[in-house]
C-alpha cells in the first residue's frame, strides 16, 4: 500500500476537473421538474423517441459486431500493406464532426448518392428519412469505438493459444470461434456497450442523413434538440432520461473493463 495522501498540487486540479464534469449533470438534476416527471415520461412522444432510440442503437450495435469484430481481427492479426492507413481510416469517424459524417453518408447513400441512386433505381430502396437510415448513421459513428476496443483486446491476448490450437489440428475458423473469441470476449462486450452508448447519443449524423420524423427517425437526442425550441422542461426531462440510460450503461461497462485482463 502506497501513501494515500495525494499532494495538494494534484488534488486541487483533480477535484476541479471532477466538479467541471459533474456540475452540468447536477444542474440537470436540480432543474428537473420532479413533480410532473412521471406524467411527462409517459407522454407518447417521449416513449416513441425512446423506443426508437433503443431499437436503432441495438440494431446499429448488432451490425457493428458483425462487421467490426472481423475488421478488428484483420487489423490485429493479419499483416498487410497499408495496415496503418486502414487503421487510421477506420478511426476517422471518431474525430469527424458527426454532421460531416451525415453529409458524407448522404453523398453516398442518398437518393442522388453514389450507391443510393443505384439502390433506388434497381430496388426502389431509399435510405434517407427511414429508420434504416438512422441505424446506418449511428453505426457509422459508433463502429470505431467497437473496433478500437476489440483490436486492443486482440493485441493484448496471447497469440500462443491460437498457435497451440492450430498445431492440435484446429482450422482457422474453429480457432477463431473456439479460442480467439472467448479469449477477447470481455473486450468485445466492452466495445459493444461503448458502441451502443455512442449510437444512443448520436445526433449530428442522424439528423443530417436520416432527417427528423416522429416515430420513424426522431431519436431521443433529436427530440431533446427540438424540445428546446418550445419547452425547456420537456428538454430537461428527455435529457435526464438519456443521462440515466448512459450512466447505467457506462457503470456496467466499468465492470467489464475491470473483469478483462
CB of 179 to other proteins, least distance (A): 47
Residue from 106, 142, 146, 241 binding other proteins (CB under 8 A) = 106
Q: Is 152 in the site for other proteins (CB under 8 A)?
A: no
Residue from 30, 34, 213, 244 binding other proteins (CB under 8 A) = 213
The interface region with other proteins, picked from 1-9, 136-144, 182-190, 228-236 by CB under 8 A, is 228-236
In sequence order, which residues have a C-beta less than 8 Å from that of residue 117 and are 6 or more positions away? 111
Q: Is 153 in the site for other proteins (CB under 8 A)?
A: no
Residue from 53, 131, 206, 217 binding other proteins (CB under 8 A) = 217
**Closer Cβ to other proteins, 152 or 214, answer by number:** 214
Q: Is 226 in the site for other proteins (CB under 8 A)?
A: yes
Q: Is 79 in the site for other proteins (CB under 8 A)?
A: no
**Closer Cβ to other proteins, 175 or 217, answer by number:** 217
Residue from 63, 110, 144, 191 binding other proteins (CB under 8 A) = 110
**DSSP string spanning the chain?**
-------HHHHHHHHHHHHHHHHHHHHHHHHS-GGGHHHHHT-HHHHHHHHHHHHHHHHHHHHHHHHHHHHHHHHHH---TTHHHHHHHHHHHHHS-HHHHHHHHHHHHSTTSTTHHHHHHHH----TTSHHHHHHHHHHHHHHHHHHHHHHHHHHS-HHHHHHHHHTT--HHHHIIIIIHHHHHHHHHHHHHHHHHHHHT--HHHHHHT---TTTT--HHHHHHHHHHH-HHHHHHHHHHHHHHHHHHHHHHHHHHHH--
Q: Is 238 in the site for other proteins (CB under 8 A)?
A: no
Q: Is 45 in the site for other proteins (CB under 8 A)?
A: no
CB of 232 to other proteins, least distance (A): 8
**Closer Cβ to other proteins, 63 or 110, answer by number:** 110
End-to-end CA distance of the chain: 22
**Closer Cβ to other proteins, 96 or 99, answer by number:** 99
Residue from 112, 121, 124, 173 binding other proteins (CB under 8 A) = 112
Q: Is 167 in the site for other proteins (CB under 8 A)?
A: no
**Phi–psi pair at 112, nearest 5 degrees:** -105, 10
**Closer Cβ to other proteins, 71 or 234, answer by number:** 234
Q: Is 31 in the site for other proteins (CB under 8 A)?
A: no
Whether the CA torsion 34, 38, 43, 48 is positive or negative: it is positive
**What is the C-alpha to C-alpha distance for residues 140 and 199, in angstroms, rounded to an integer?**
9
Give contact residues for other proteins (rule: CB under 8 A).
106-107, 110-112, 128-129, 207-208, 210-214, 217-218, 222, 225-230
Amino acid at each position: 500500500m502506497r501513501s494515500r495522501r495525494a499532494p495538494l498540487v494534484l488534488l486541487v486540479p483533480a477535484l476541479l476537473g471532477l466538479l467541471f464534469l459533474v456540475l452540468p449533470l447536477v444542474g440537470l438534476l436540480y432543474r428537473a421538474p420532479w413533480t410532473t416527471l412521471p406524467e411527462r415520461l409517459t407522454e407518447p412522444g417521449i416513449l416513441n423517441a425512446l423506443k426508437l432510440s433503443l431499437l436503432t442503437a441495438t440494431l446499429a450495435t448488432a451490425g457493428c459486431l458483425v462487421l467490426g469484430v472481423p475488421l478488428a481481427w484483420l487489423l490485429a492479426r493479419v499483416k498487410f500493406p497499408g495496415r496503418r492507413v486502414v487503421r487510421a481510416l477506420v478511426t476517422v469517424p471518431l474525430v469527424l464532426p458527426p454532421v460531416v459524417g451525415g453529409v458524407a453518408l448522404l453523398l453516398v447513400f442518398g437518393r442522388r448518392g453514389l450507391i443510393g441512386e443505384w439502390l433506388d433505381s434497381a430496388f426502389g430502396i431509399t435510405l434517407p428519412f427511414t429508420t434504416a437510415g438512422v441505424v446506418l448513421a449511428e453505426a457509422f459513428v459508433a463502429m470505431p469505438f467497437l473496433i478500437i476496443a476489440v483490436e486492443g483486446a486482440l493485441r493484448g491476448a496471447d497469440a500462443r493459444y491460437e498457435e497451440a490450437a492450430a498445431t492440435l489440428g484446429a482450422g482457422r475458423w474453429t480457432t477463431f470461434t473456439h479460442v480467439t473469441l472467448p479469449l477477447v470476449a470481455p473486450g468485445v462486450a466492452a466495445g459493444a456497450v461503448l458502441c451502443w452508448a455512442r449510437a444512443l447519443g448520436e445526433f449530428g449524423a442522424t439528423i443530417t442523413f436520416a432527417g427528423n420524423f416522429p416515430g420513424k427517425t426522431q431519436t431521443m437526442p433529436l427530440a431533446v434538440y427540438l424540445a428546446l425550441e418550445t419547452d425547456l422542461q420537456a428538454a430537461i426531462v428527455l435529457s435526464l432520461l438519456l443521462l440515466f440510460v448512459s450512466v447505467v450503461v457506462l457503470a456496467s461497462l466499468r465492470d467489464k473493463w475491470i473483469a478483462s485482463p
